[in-house]
Every structure is written in C-alpha cells, then in structure tokens.
Structure 1
Amino acid sequence: MPYYVMTMLAAGFGIPILAALNSALGSRIGSPAAAALILFCVASCVTLIAVLITGPQPLLRAADAPKHLFAGGLFVAFYVLSITYIAPSMGVGNAVFFVLLGQLASAAAIDHFGLFGARPSPLDATRALGIAVMAVGVWITQRA
C-alpha cells in the first residue's frame, strides 16, 4: 500500500509541473494547442516504451473492450488543452486548485455510486466536509 500512496503522491506532484511546463511551452511557441500536441507525442513515446517492456499483447484485446472505455482519452485531452490555455492567465496554482476541486467532487460521485466498475464507497459526512473545506480553500486563494 505505501508504494501506491507514494506513486499517487508523485503523480499529484507532477500535475502542476505538467501545467507549468506545458503552459510555458504554449506561450513560448505561440500555440497552446501545439504545446498540447507535443506533450501527447512525448507521452505516447514514453507509454509505447512501457508497453513494449511489459508486453504488447494487451493491445490486441483492446479491440474487444467496450468503446465507452476509450473516452478517458477525451478527458485527458480536455485537461491538457484547458490547463495549457488557462494557466498562463489564471496562474498554475489557481488552475490546479479548481482541477483538484473537480477531481474531488467527481471522485466522490464515482465512488459513491460505484460508477465505471469502481468499488462503492458511500459519500459520508466526513468526505463531504473534506470537499467543502477544499472548496473554501479555493475560494480563499481566489480572494488573495
């Protein structure tokens, strides 16, 4: 379990870095969309290497997967494009705070209803309070 926690903390640590680097690239080259495309090309190459190392056989089974499961790519593209366009104007911290707030609300709903095969975990008062505290935190950062 500590491995999972550390991995996810590292992923979370990387999201603002991704936002800062990609928004800076978009500003520097004059196109947030082109910066996003470059990011996806780099990410695709790294992911291809990981697939080749772990074995490409699962790619053959992808054709049999329900097509709605591929929609995750739309969400990744939307996130990268939106953070790349908006972070230079709003600031990386503010943009990521709103992303985090959306992630908390969405994750709570997915867990509460057991959507997309997630293990159901009801939204109790403690979790709801945590999301509310985060919302207040976002509001406070916007007023500063």
Structure 2
Amino acid sequence: MTPETLRFAAVMLAAGIGIPLLAALNARLGARIGSPAAAATVLFVVALSATFLVLLATGGTRALASLPGQPKHLFLGGLLVAFYVLSVTWVAPRFGVGNAVFFVLLGQMISAATIDHFGLFGAIQKQVTLTRAGGIGLMAAGLFLIQRG
C-alpha cells in the first residue's frame, strides 16, 4: 500500500469510529433535552461552525461563488445528512447504537457497491463481482446473527 492509501484509510477509519460516537452522543443529548430534533439542530450548528472555520483556514471561501452554477441534485447530500442525524438520534436510544449503526453500515455497503458498479456521480467504476456481493451477503448474515444473539 502506498503512503497516500494508508493516509486515506486512516482518515476513513477515524470517520467510521466517529459514526457510533456521534450516534451515542447525539442520542443521549436528545434524550436528556427531550427532543431528537433539537439535538440534531445543535449538532448541525456545531458542525457548521467547525466546517466554516476549516473553510476560512484553507482559503476555500472563493469556491462558494461557484455554487449557484452547480446541478441542484448535488445539494441533496445535505438532506441525506439531516435524515441520517435525525434518524439515528431518534432510533439509537430505542434500538441500540450497535443495531442502528450496523443497519447504517449495511445500507452503506449496498449503496456504495451500487454507486461503484455503475460509476454513479462520477465515481470510479468497479464491478460488483461475486466476491463483493458475497461480502455484502456475509455482512447481512452477521447482522442476522447479531440480532438473534
């Protein structure tokens, strides 16, 4: 593996570690204040503040000027993030953080395989082989076993 590959893997591993933490922390905040929607709003205010600071620090503010000319469907990512945060904040305390995140992970694998297979949204095209499909199937089987136990 190249150093760049290792660096990318480390960043995404850290992001993956953060997903259950985000779910647990925001679910707890939502339960303590009595509103998953309010907890999600707080999360987004903190996230917006952090990303705005990164935007300023990296000089990315000029890129904002090109936003009006972008295809509107590219902005749906914001709605998907809102759906994820709202749903995990509401579901995790009732279903368990592990269960909630595992279903999220399964959905991510299915969606990622589909995006890669068809090269959607400019992604590098990578066929869903029998091995890749089998891996997703094994993950689904693992989910079934976890739910039974």
**Same fold? TM cut 0.5:** yes
**What TM-score comes out, normalization by structure 1 length?**
0.99
Aligned equivalent of 2:10, options 6, 18, 21: 6
Structure 1 segments, 4+ long, off by >3 Å, are none
Partner of 2:57: 53
SS in 1 for 2:40: helix
Partner of 1:121: 126
Q: 1:6 offset after TM fit, Å?
A: 0.1
| Letter in structure 2 aligned against 1:91 | G
SS in 2 for 1:122: coil
Q: How many residues in Structure 1 have an aligned counterpart in Structure 2?
A: 144
1:64 counterpart = 2:69? yes
**What TM-score comes out, normalization by structure 2 length?**
0.96
| Letter in structure 1 aligned against 2:26 | N
Instruction: Give CA-to-partner distance per residue, 1:35-85, whole Å, 9 cap, x none.
Output: 000000000000000000111111111111111100000100000000000
Aligned equivalent of 1:141, options 130, 143, 146: 146
Pairwise CA RMSD of aligned residues? Answer: 0.5
Partner of 1:35: 39
SS in 1 for 2:128: coil
SS in 2 for 1:119: coil
Any stretches of 5+ residues in structure 2 without a counterpart? none
Q: Take 1:137 and 1:43, find their aligned partners in 2: how far apart are those partners?
A: 33
1:79 counterpart = 2:87? no
Instruction: Give CA-to-partner distance per residue, 1:85-141, whole Å, 9 cap, x none.
Output: 000000000000000000000000000001111110000011001100100111111
| Letter in structure 1 aligned against 2:92 | A
